[in-house]
Amino acid sequence: MQRTPLAWRNLTHDLKRLALALAGIGFAVLLMSMELSFRRALFDSTVAVIQKTNADLILTSAAKYTIVVRETFDKRRLIQALACDGVESADPLYIETRFAIVKNPQTGEGQPIRVLAFDPDHPVFVFPTVNALLHELQLPDKVLFDVRSKPEYGDVEPGKTIELAERQAEVIGQFALGTDFTNDGNLITSDLTYRRLFPERAVGEDPLDEVDLGVLRVKPGQDPRQVQRHLQRLLPSDVTVFTKQEFEEQERRFWETSTPIGYVFWLGTLMGFIVGTVICYQILYADIADHLPEFATLKAMGYGNLYFVGVVLKEALWLSLLGFVPGIVVSQLICALVAELTGLLVSVHLGVAITVLLLSVGMCMVSGFLTMRRVMALDPADLF
């Protein structure tokens, strides 16, 4: 004979209480998933510009510990790198944030923006919309605007003229990169326009001689790591050669361990776990308290402690699974809204969802183990 699903019946006999319970568990799931999604967005948004480069190797100043800081190297290092066997191309990428101020065409208010520049004859990005406009980008004072920039920049569409670094520039196209935790928007322009816009970068010298990142491609059939080792022996110690993956990992590691931001997100996740554990414990404890006579009767009939442990843990598992669904759905909706408003790469990825599901099951199991002591200590004599 099929056994009565006691755990399920206990949960569903009062649908109002069940709905309140799932709301509480779902809230904890929402907290954890948002914290983990924002943490992932921090990393993904920061390395997005690196991922969009057409690079096998990245050349940086030896003092550059994150892409955010302005540590440049001499352009001659790229010429030296190009002389290395196995290197097919070595092109400069310029990044400016200090002097890059763009005015909102509607309000006239100035907003800082990140400007990315390169030689259109030697493209460094994989944006199809950018590479389709390389010929036009060679003309002076032409820029492309990131459509995922924050709305503070106003309505910036192709064909419009904007004021950038106190000069007039025409927007000839758009691309989609996204913001991060230090930059609210992005522009792409040519290296010659970059020189005209930001002479302050190297007063009395050519601003193009100071390179922020070197984008290196290896020849077909060459091993990037072998070429990397060769370059490290060839080049002076004032520059460092990374593979693209190594540079991304360094950037993620910096934000994870060298800033308080990574710890804050983990702390937020821990708080969500604790909140969920407390809520689940209260739910299970109240349910057991309401059914103490029934449990005592079953114990008097000969059911052992192992049976009651199974009932409590099954209730905890049901709560974790049922509460996970509304929590993760609401999280995805909020992430989509945040991504739309801020341009950050915020979403509940599969990895985040699986992690939150495991945490949800874990917090409910912890609550179950804490609650089962009440049932195991129950004396059938208390029934009389």
Q: Which one, of 89, 77, 164, lies nearest residue 119 by Cα?
A: 89
Percent of the chain residues past pLDDT 90, beyond the cut: 49
Contact status, residue 88 vs residue 217, Cβ threshold 8 Å: yes
343-357 in b/e burial notation, b at 16+ Cβ within 10 A? bbbbbbbeebbebbb
Burial degree of 260 (CB within 10 A; 0-12, 13-18, 19+): exposed
Residue 219 DSSP label: P
Q: What is the DSSP letter of 71?
A: -
Nearest one of 244, 246, 241 to 227, comparing CA atoms: 241
pLDDT of 1: 43
Torsion of CA 149, 193, 83, 225, to 10 degrees: 0
Hunting for tokens 């699974």 — which residue is that? 321
Q: Answer for the pair 193, 187: CB distance below 8 angstroms, yes or no.
A: no
pLDDT of residue 42: 82
The confidence score (pLDDT) of residue 301 equals 73
Phi/psi for 239 (5° steps) reads: -130, 160
What is the rounded CA–CA span in Å between residue 367 and residue 369? Answer: 6
CB neighbours (10 Å) of residue 67?
A: 23
Question: 242 φ, ψ to 5°?
Answer: -115, 150
Task: Give me the phi and psi of 166, to 5 degrees please.
Answer: 65, 25
pTM > 0.85: no
Distance between CA 292 and CA 381 in Å, rounded? 12
> What would the pLDDT profile of 224-240 be if each residue is shown by its tens digit?
999 999 999 999 999 99
Q: Which 8-state DSSP code applies to residue 53?
A: B
* Residue 54 buriedness (CB in 10 A; 0-12 / 13-18 / 19+): middle
Question: Taken in order 103, 108, 110, 111, is the CA torsion positive or negative?
Answer: negative
Residues 163-207 have pLDDT tens digits of 999 899 999 999 999 888 888 999 999 999 999 999 888 777 899
Ranges in the chain, pLDDT < 50: 1
* C-alpha closest to that of 4 among 300, 280, 303: 303
Residues 213, 60: contact at Cβ < 8 Å?
yes
Distance CA 252, CA 261 (A): 11
Task: Answer yes or no: are the C-beta atoms of 56 and 216 closer than 8 Å.
Answer: yes
β-strand pairing of 142-146 with 239-243: unpaired
CB atoms within 10 A of CB 329: 14
Is residue 188 within 8 Å of residue 131, measured between CB atoms?
no
| Whole-number Cα distances in Å, 101 to 23, 104, 231, 250 | 46, 10, 37, 29
Distance CA 331, CA 34 (A): 6
Quote the Cα angle for 50-54-60, to 5°: 50
